[in-house]
Amino acid sequence: MTQSWKLTLPCTRAEAEALGEDMGLLADLDPPPALMTSEMEEDNPDKWQVDAYFEGRPTVQAIALLQAMIPSSAGTEPVLERLPDEDWVTLSQQGLEPIVAGRFHVRNHADDPVPAGLVPLLIPAGRAFGTGQHETTAGCLMMLDRCRRLGERFGNIADIGTGTGLLAFAALHLWPRAYATASDIDPAAVEVSAQNAALNGVAPGGGRGEVSLYVAAGVDHPALHVRAPYDLLVANILAGPLIELAPSLTAVIDEGGTLILAGLLADQADRVVAAYRAQGMRLVDRIDNGHWPTLRLRKRPVIGWRRPRRWTPGANGEAPGYGSW
């Protein structure tokens, strides 16, 4: 078993955002490190931290690469520690308290009690992110719940960058006769989502009330094209990939369809909305959960010769390197 190491450096929120959007030359390492950024002091954008997890002790060159990407860390001594021979992703999520978002109660342990009147969802700590604790995932759950309370009806749902499958499962609870498609760029996330589907009583498959799972970057998969157009699409990833994917995500949404976006920070929202407005989407709702907004957009119907063309493979349907919260 390869020994894992953690490298910690201080950073600013702006630097954390930049790392989330582009790992730079770190992405060329074999294997690349996993980066996690966190806020150290609430409402202080200059007090953030990046933790880089490496398989094997990082080289001097790798440490220098990371530090070069964080200008504010110049002159700071990196903190390097060897981790126990355990799964650090699982360890990082152990002991998380259940959360309530809308009508949903998301727990990581099967024996956690579920309050009466709430919909239970079980997402164990594991290799994929999206256990509900992050504000972006909770915001998506709240937005889905709000859609249902407003009387929205959806029959063909997609969850792009699904992570653990949580948002797809929640959507199927709200619209149990819908078709559901979930995808992620990470094969491990798709495998975890399949396991979580079984835990939550969601059947795999392509029928109503079932979920189809695919490994895909963005919507770059033939099955995702065949199952389009979607009347509800959820994408909880990062601002950079969301902007890059605006043409291809919009193209697979039905006219009048709904798009829920998350994974962006408040000061990135205008850029994300502008990218989708250029594709014929309009903002209809927003939930702010701390610094993390969740956006709901609707696709404008287009009539006649200006009707948009369907997206085809190769037309900006891929955003390599993104993940989900």
Residue 260's H or E segment, with its range, is strand 253-262
Cβ partners under 8 Å of residue 168, min gap 6: 157, 159, 162, 180, 181, 182, 193, 202, 211, 234
207 annotated as belonging to a binding site for a ligand: no
Confirm if 193 and 164 have CB atoms less than 8 A apart.
yes
**Is 46 annotated as contributing to ligand binding?**
no
For residue 211, the tally of other CB atoms under 10 A from its CB is 28
Task: Establish whether 112 is an annotated binding residue.
Answer: no
**DSSP, residue by residue, 164-197:** TSHHHHHHHHHSTTSEEEEEES-HHHHHHHHHHH
Distance between CA atoms of residues 39 and 290, nearest Å: 12
Axis-axis angle for helices 166-174, 135-149 (nearest 10): 10
137 is in an annotated binding site: yes
- The binding site for S-adenosyl-L-methionine comprises 137, 161, 184, 236
- The binding site comprises 137, 161, 184, 236
